[in-house]
Amino acid sequence: MIQAKKLEAYQKLSDEEVLLQAQKDPDAFAVLVERYEAPFMRKALSILRQREEAEEAVQDAFTRIYVYADRYKAQEGANFGSWGYMILTRLCFTRYQKMKKLRGRTAEMEPEAYERLPDTDSFVADLSMRNEVLVGLSKIPESAARILRLQFLEGKTQEEIAEIEGSTVSAVKTRVHRAKKAFKEVLAYDGHD
């Protein structure tokens, strides 16, 4: 009951006031999500053209708006909405560029190819493990993730990596060792959640 009254009070405030309140009471942020979720989704879809990508972009936008709420400054001729749309639009264009690059590297699989895929538990386990690896890589510094991707996912030798990175083989060995250590720490930490 108290929650409903509190939300009702927040709904009477301007976007800027709600954002300010959300810094003290996270429940207030639900009002902004309610106000902007549908229009943000329309905007994201107009840029990305894929519902799942658009949904992720909208979610990322709300996360950033919440996390960086203290950085919002009201300006002449610009309100909270324009700030929120700016964040969303930047995220959408960044995501669009990544999608465009991926589209250039991947091809659609023919239906017959799907039928040839093994339908076994080990295949699903391999996919699950690959997903865990990719999630783990996303949680370590980009330079470390890049080294591990090059060596273990792309199968490059340390000599090839040294050439790609403009480095020496001994430096690559050191970086691989440190990256593996960081990766193991992330996996160990995630296992204790």
Within the chain, all domains assigned CATH 1.10.10.10 are found at 135-193
- Report pLDDT digits (tens) over 132-179: 666 677 778 888 888 877 877 777 888 888 888 888 988 888 888 888
Secondary-structure percent of the chain, ordered helix, strand, coil, rounded to 5: 80, 0, 20
Q: Which residue has the tokens 């083989």?
A: 169
7 contact partners, CB below 8 Å, separation of at least 6:
27, 28, 30, 31
* pLDDT of amino acid 161: 86
Burial of 84 (C-beta count, 10 Å sphere; 0-12/13-18/19+):
buried
Mean predicted lDDT score pLDDT of the chain? 80
Within the chain, all domains assigned CATH 1.10.1740.10 are found at 2-105
C-beta atoms surrounding 172 within 10 Å:
23
CATH architecture of 2-105: Orthogonal Bundle (1.10)
Of residues 46 and 104, the one with the higher pLDDT is 46
* pLDDT of amino acid 125: 47
Report the percent of the chain where pLDDT is more than 70: 80
Residue 109 tokens read as 């699989």
pTM, full prediction: 0.52
Mean pLDDT confidence for 112-137: 54
**At the topology level of CATH, where does 135-193 sit?**
Arc Repressor Mutant, subunit A (1.10.10)
